[in-house]
Amino acid sequence: MTMPEGVIIAVKKGYTGSIRGDDGNEYRFNRKRIIQGNFDQIQMGRRVEFEPDGEWASQIRLLDEVQDLSQQTTGSPLTSAKRRKQRTTKRRSRDHTSISPFGGYRFLNPYNFVRLLGKPRPENHVLGNCPPPPHDRYVGLTGRITCQVSAVTPLFISDSHAIWEDANGHKTYRFFQLDGQPALPASSLRGMVRSVFETVTNACFVAFSHTPLSYRLSSRQAPWLVPTRVERDGDNWYLQLLIGTSALQIKSPPNDFQYAAWSASYWPLKPSKTLRGIGPKGRKLSQKQLSRIQKFIARTNNRVHNPDGITHGEKCYALLEPFQHPHPRIKFWNVLEVRRNRSELPQPQGSQRIEEGWLCITNQNIEPKHSERFFFRSRENSSGPERIALPKSVREAYEILIEDYQDR
C-alpha cells in the first residue's frame, strides 16, 4: 500500500502550513490531520506521506527525511508544458520504484504499520537471511523473554467451553478461564511476542492472500456516506439511493437535512455531553443552546411509537417531523411513529410529513447510541439518479467485506 509523498514548504506557528506534493500540487494542512509523528517535527523541508483531500492533506505521516529547500530553484513559474513533462517524469520514476522493495518506494505493513527497512537484509547474519534453525537444538540467539502485559483497552478472549445458545441461535461465550479464573492463553501471548520479534528482526512475511483488506473511514469522512439499498432484478444488481429530502452530495455531507431519519430507541448506556446537558469544552450554555439541549433530551426519552412491531429491514411508513440538533450544523427528520399501512398513521400537522421507507434496527451496539435509522427517499426529490447499476466487481468486493465482518 503506497501513499502520495511530498515536502512541507511552509509552516505557520507550528499549527498550519503547506505541503508541496510530488505530483506538483500544493496542499494545506493543520496538525490535527497528522496521524504519525511528533508535533515538534513539523518543519519546512520535512518529507511526509499523506492522502489528498481536495485542497487539503489528510492522514499525514511525518517521515525522517528532511530536505534542504534552499538548494531548490525558485525562478520563474514553469510553463504548462514543462509541468506536464515534470509530472510524467515523476510518474515514471514512481512506477519504476514501485516494483522495487527499496529506494523511494515505501511499503506500509497493513497489520502493524511498521515499514520495512530501507535496505536488503544481509546474508548469513544473525538477524539476516539464513536457513531456518532446527527444532532439536539451540542455535544462534537463545534465552528467555520476560514480559508484562497490561490491558489498556477492553479485551475479550473467548473460551471454547460453556457456550450458551439462545432460541435464535445466537451464541454467548465466556472469557477464557484457567482453573476457574480469567486468564490469557499462552498461544495469545506467544502470538504477541512473535509479532514484536518478527518486526524488530525484519522477518519474512508468512501469510499472503488475494483477499482485499478492509479499512475504516475516518470519522470526518463518515458524513459523506450515501445510504443505499441493494436490489436484484434477475441477474442484474442495483443500488437504490435513499437520500431523504436532501440533494445528493459527493465527497461532502448533505447541505440540508441528513439523508436518514432518526428513530429514538434507547437511552444511551453512556450518554454524550449533549444528553448530560454539558456545553462543548465545559463552556456555559446560552439560553438558546440550553433550550435545544432540553428539547433533544426530551426527544431521546420519547421512544418511537411502533404498535405493529415492525422489525429490521421491513418496508413501512413513518410520520416525520423536522428537528434541529443542539449542534447548529445537524438537522434531521425525527421519526414519531411507524406503521405498515399508511392509513393508520395520524394526519401530519404543520411541517410534519409521511414517507415510505425501511426501518433499520442494529440494536444498542455502542454505548452512546440512542437512535436507529429510517431510510427513505422523498417522491419529490429529483436530485441525482434514483438507482445505479452495481457492477459485478463491486458486488463481489462488498460480499467479501460482509464475510469479513461476519468472521470477526
Report the range of poorest mean pLDDT among 64-68, 78-82, 237-241: 78-82
pLDDT at 88 over 70: no
Judge whether residue 58 has pLDDT over 50. Answer: yes
- Give the predicted TM-score (pTM) of the model: 0.58
Encode pLDDT of 339-349 as tens digits: 999 999 999 99
**Residue 317: is its pLDDT beyond 50?**
yes
pLDDT digits (tens, 9 = 90+) for 188-224: 888 888 877 777 777 777 777 777 777 777 777 888 8
240 contacts: CB under 8 Å, gap ≥ 6: 228, 229, 230, 231, 377, 386, 387
Least confident window among 81-85, 153-157, 167-171, 372-376? 81-85
Q: What is the pLDDT of residue 115?
A: 65
- pLDDT at position 92: 39
Q: pLDDT grade, residue 100 (50/70/90)?
A: very low
Q: Which residue has the cell 438558546?
A: 288
Contact assessment for residue 405 and residue 399, using Cβ atoms and an 8 Å cutoff = no
Average pLDDT rounded to a whole number, residues 21-25: 88
Average pLDDT, the chain: 83
Mean pLDDT of 48-72: 85
pLDDT for position 73: 45
Residue (of 152, 160, 151, 204) closest to 178 by Cα position: 160
Average pLDDT over residues 233-244: 94
Q: In which element (H, E) is residue 291 found?
A: helix 287-301
Structural domains present in the chain: 5-97 (2.40.50.140), 222-402 (no CATH)
Cell readout for 19 is 505541503
Per-residue pLDDT tens for 249-302? 998 899 999 999 999 999 999 999 999 988 877 778 889 989 999 999 999 999
Label each residue of 116-149 as H, E or C: CCCCCCCECCCCCECCCCCCCCCCCCCCCCCCCC
The reported pLDDT for the residue numbered 308 is 96
